């Protein structure tokens, strides 16, 4: 199955956990400063120190941004975006995912769907080794974000991304869909080559991946 292929590829790259099929994360897209004080406060990300919209993604070893949900205001916490997306419930209800996990940062916790790093300052050597190995492979989640803005630089030009003037969220979602298609037509990207997993066919993308981008 694809889940087995994905999890094996991640494990083969040095991950200490052997049942991980993807990586969940939030990406923050900068926008121009809104006019009203209330709007400014709602979209301001204190962590990133900029006005922004936030999207939730799941990236898989075949180079695809498999799941995209958003936007949410920049100040929203990742866990609130997760609850709003319904991603955890959808995965939990699908029996094919039983025994497999999505890896994310500590905000996502450790459930029957998600696994995150061990917490604390007194970790065992085994726990520290797991954290280190997963941190190494998890950096791959950032590569598709860079690919999107490399292909479609306009979505990264925050002075032009003004709420109410341009469809900021639709532009970013469209950029993700087109980037996924380019990855397929190019036979892969840095992410897929790193894990040694080929991207899906266009037919598979439109029947599965495309659905996940818009339905979640």
How many domains does the structure of the chain reveal?
1
Q: How far is CA 2 from the centre of its chain?
A: 18
pLDDT for residue 44: 67
Q: Three-state DSSP class for 63?
A: coil
Judged on CB neighbours under 10 Å (0-12, 13-18, 19+), 10 is buried
What are the structure tokens assigned to 182, written together? 């380019």
Q: Can you name the residues that pair with 115 across neighbouring β-strands?
A: 103
161 contacts 29 by C-beta, under 8 angstroms: yes
Condensed to tens digits (0 to 9), the pLDDT of residues 100-130 reads: 999 999 999 999 999 999 998 899 999 999 9
Beta-sheet pairing, 44-45 with 20-30: unpaired
Look up the domain containing 140 and give its range: 2-215
Provide the 10 A C-beta neighbour count for residue 30: 18
Low-confidence ranges of the chain (pLDDT < 70): 35-42, 44-49, 209-216
CATH of the domain at 154: 3.30.420
Could you give the count of Cα atoms lying within 13 Å of 50 in the half-sphere of its Cβ? 15
Beta-sheet pairing, 101-103 with 114-115: parallel
């Amino acid at each position: 199955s694809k889940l087995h292929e994905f999890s094996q590829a991640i494990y083969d790259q040095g991950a200490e956990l052997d049942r991980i099929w993807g990586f969940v994360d939030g990406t923050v897209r900068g926008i121009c400063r809104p006019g009203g004080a209330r709007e400014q406060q709602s979209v301001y990300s204190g962590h990133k120190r900029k006005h922004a919209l936030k999207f939730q993604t799941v990236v898989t070893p075949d180079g695809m941004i498999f799941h995209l949900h958003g936007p949410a205001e920049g100040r929203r916490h990742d866990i609130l975006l997760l609850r709003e997306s319904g991603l955890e419930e959808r995965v939990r209800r699908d029996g094919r995912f039983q025994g497999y996990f999505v890896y994310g940062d500590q905000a996502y916790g450790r459930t029957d769907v998600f696994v995150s790093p061990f917490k604390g300052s007194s970790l065992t050597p085994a726990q520290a080794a797991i954290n280190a190995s997963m941190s190494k492979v998890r950096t791959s989640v950032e590569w598709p974000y860079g690919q999107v803005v490399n292909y479609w630089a306009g979505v990264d030009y925050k002075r032009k991304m003004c709420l109410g003037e341009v469809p900021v969220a639709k532009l970013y979602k469209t950029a993700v869909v087109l980037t996924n298609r380019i990855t397929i037509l190019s036979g892969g990207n840095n992410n897929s080559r790193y894990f040694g997993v080929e991207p899906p066919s266009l037919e598979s993308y439109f029947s599965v991946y495309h659905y996940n981008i818009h339905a979640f």
